[in-house]
Amino acid sequence: MQNLFYLFVRYGGFVSFLLLEALCIFLIINFNEKQNRIFLHSASVISGNVAEQFDNLADFLRLQEERDSLAANNARLLAMLGISRFDIALKADTVVNRQDTQRYRYVAAEVINNSTRKSRNFLTLSRGSLHGIKPRMGVIDERGVVGIVRNTSPHFSLVMSVLHPQMRISVRHALSNHEGSMQWEAPLGPDQVNVLYLPRTAPLSSGDTLLTSGYSTHFPPGLPVAVVDTFLVKPGGSTWEVKASLLNDLRNSRYVYVVEDLLAEEQLNLESSNE
């Protein structure tokens, strides 16, 4: 009780001043028409701005949910495409029974960290081992190839970007089906790559499309990844030296799809048995 008395003695004057100020403002607003209109207008403007900011925040949160839902739907649609199926042909005399089974499944993920200007670039994704992500899985987006999963934690994945000198992706020339190897290295820009080992017999033209070859368990075959810019053969050489432009811009990658090859273990076990 004594402490309360001392508190009132110390701050009572200030509290009384605030109460009297509030009373004066109340009387002025309620008994003066002009001041009342000004107060109501100001209060309306302030409350409207506050409500607008809350609406914007709610719209942003709803938009985030819609983007996540759209990415998940896209992953399901990718799994339904023909390139994600594995054809099985059972022949009996001249009759062919066509069947297929699911080969590729996709997990939508958000890019939460990304480097494109270093000599060795990586991405971090918002999905990890709890979501079925494993090392060596490929990562794509709606425009092309992004990279390969290097490591995972329960909730995150580290992806070696296409913009990494150790990353080599098997590609083929869309028109002739000749195969080569796509590789990035500094000081190339984040939209340029080299293509190696394409034989000079491949009829190249600027603007030709390069596709994933399907010769690995990382990516489905037939995904467009780059277009040919320039090409030449050095004297005595047997292969083209190709500069190409990536179809996707990794600088603004936001949503990606992690590729799970459901038949990878079977294929790799068979291939390793021959070593």
For residues 129 and 155, what is the distance between their CA atoms, to the nearest angstrom?
A: 7
Max avg pLDDT among 15-29, 91-105, 122-136, 260-274: 122-136
Q: Considering the chain, what percentage of its residues have pLDDT values greater than 70? A: 63
Label residue 144 left, alpha or beta by phi (over 0 means left) and psi (-120 to 50 means alpha): left
Q: Residue 224: which of 272, 173, 178 has the closest Cα?
A: 173
Q: Which among 68, 211, 58, 49 is positioned nearest to 127, based on CA atoms?
A: 68
Beta-strand relationship, 192-199 and 168-173: unpaired
- Angstrom distance (rounded) from CA 22 to CA 158: 58
Contacts of 125 (CB under 8 A, 6+ apart): 109, 110, 111, 112, 133, 139, 156, 157, 158, 159, 256, 258
CA distances from 224 to 173, 174, 187, 246, 249 (A): 10, 9, 24, 9, 13
In order of their start, the domains of the chain are 107-272 (2.40.10.340)
Q: Are residues 209 and 224 in contact, defined by beta-carbon separation less than 8 angstroms?
A: yes
C-alpha triplet 222, 255, 149: angle, nearest 5°: 65
pLDDT above 60 (res 94) = no
Other Cβ atoms within 10 Å of 7 Cβ, number: 11
C-alpha radius of gyration, the chain, whole number? 31
Helix-, strand-, coil-residue percentages of the chain, each rounded to 5: 35, 35, 30
- Indicate yes or no: pTM above 0.95: no
Alpha carbon 77 to its chain centroid, in Å, reads: 16
Q: Is the pLDDT of residue 98 over 80?
A: no
Q: Is residue 7 pLDDT above 90, yes or no?
A: no
Residue 203 pLDDT greater than 50, yes or no: yes
